[in-house]
Structures are given as structure tokens and as C-alpha cells.
Amino acid sequence: MKIRHYQDVPATNPLPGVKKRVCIGPDEGAGNFILRVFDVEPGQASPDHAHPWEHEIFVLTGQGAVRDEQGTETPFREGYTLFLPADEKHCMINKGSDVLRFVCIIPTGVE
């Protein structure tokens, strides 16, 4: 059993204004899926991108929107869950004035 606060996990900066913490992954023995926590600063977003694996997301705090392949933006906030299937183009955008924080789970071995 491995227990720790997510803030005790060292963060990387995969993009400007974005912090990524791999809280439960292969280093912890997770063989099937990986739990990450992302902090997105106001005004920041992920690129519009797609990949052959799914995201399962739980929004912890903040105001955001996800943009799909057609450019449609769907808003979300704390308590929302998002299922983004494999190969579906998406972009996570912070639409608020505070940090957007979410849990994002992916299969092990894809990154």
C-alpha cells in the first residue's frame, strides 16, 4: 500500500503553465493504469491533440472547457467527470481565474 499527498509528488512542467504529477504509476507498482494530477494555470491549455488511448478525468477545482474535433467547447467545473475515448481529438482549457486541477487516468505503458 502506498499513501501520500499529491503535493508531495514532484511536479514536472510538460507545457508552460502546466504542472503534472504522476501520483500512482509504475514506480508504485501500478501495472494497469496510471493516476496523474494536472494543474493548469489561468489562460493556459493543452494543445489540440489525439492519441490511441483514453483519458478518464475527475475535475478537482477550477473552471474549464474541453474543445472537441469540431471546435465545440463544453464547459466543466469541480466534480465533473470526463471520458475522452482513444483517438478523439481534445484540448483542455482553463477558462477561469484560478488554477484548473484535475485527476487524469491513462493506461500503463502508453507514455
**Residues within the interface to a second copy (CB under 8 A):** 1-7, 9, 23-24, 28-33, 35, 37, 54, 56, 58, 60, 66, 68, 74, 76, 79-85, 88, 90, 103, 105, 107
**Residue 85 CB partners (closer than 8 Å, separation 6+):** 54
Cβ closer to a second copy: 16 or 89? 89
Grid cell at residue 11: 511536479
* Residue count of the chain: 111
**Residue 70 CB partners (closer than 8 Å, separation 6+):** none
Least separation in angstroms between CB 44 and a second copy: 20
CB 66 within 8 A of CB 57: no
Cβ closer to a second copy: 15 or 103? 103
Cβ closer to a second copy: 4 or 43? 4
